[in-house]
Amino acid sequence: MGETVFKGKIVHCPVEITLRVIGGKYKSLLLYYLTEERVLRFGELRRLVPLASKKMLTQQLRELEVDGLVKRKVFHQVPPKVEYSLSLRGKSLNSLLEAMSAWGVKHAPHYREKKAGPRI
């Protein structure tokens, strides 16, 4: 591929582009849950990703929307209702997310923290 500019930064390979798009504190989790559930409301996403602040979750969802991976549907009602789902481009990540999930399941035992033994 050679060097190219993506979002104002030089990238050296296609993997780097993928990581720039789906990388982020909670983006891969959001994409995973949207793959599993199809459509989720903001409150449901907050419950699924409890460590994310409301501001961070909003920011990550907006970035995914700008990158064309997530669709945001606003219902004009009181109280406001917003639903998120994967766009066609977002759905194209399904096999990648499934592979990442399988890798995580297979290798989780290696990365689990060991209980600390007695200290002397």
CA nearest to 61, candidates 76, 80, 43: 43
- The answer to whether position 104 is within a domain reads no
CA nearest to 48, candidates 21, 67, 28, 71: 28
**CATH code at 74?**
1.10.10.10
pLDDT, one tens digit per residue, over 65-99 is 999 999 999 999 998 899 999 999 999 999 999 99
- Share the mean pLDDT of the chain: 90
pLDDT, one tens digit per residue, over 50-70 is 999 999 999 999 999 999 999
Q: In angstroms, what CA-CA distances link 16 with 1, 4, 5, 77?
A: 11, 11, 11, 41
Q: What pTM does this model have? A: 0.83
Cis peptide before 50 (omega within 30 of 0): no
* Cβ-based neighbour number of residue 69 at 10 Å: 23
Instruction: Find out whether 84 and 40 touch, Cβ atoms under 8 Å.
Output: yes
- The answer to whether position 116 is within a domain reads no
How many folded domains does the chain comprise? 1
Separation of alpha carbons 90 and 64, rounded Å: 9
Identify the domain containing residue 87 by its residue range: 4-91
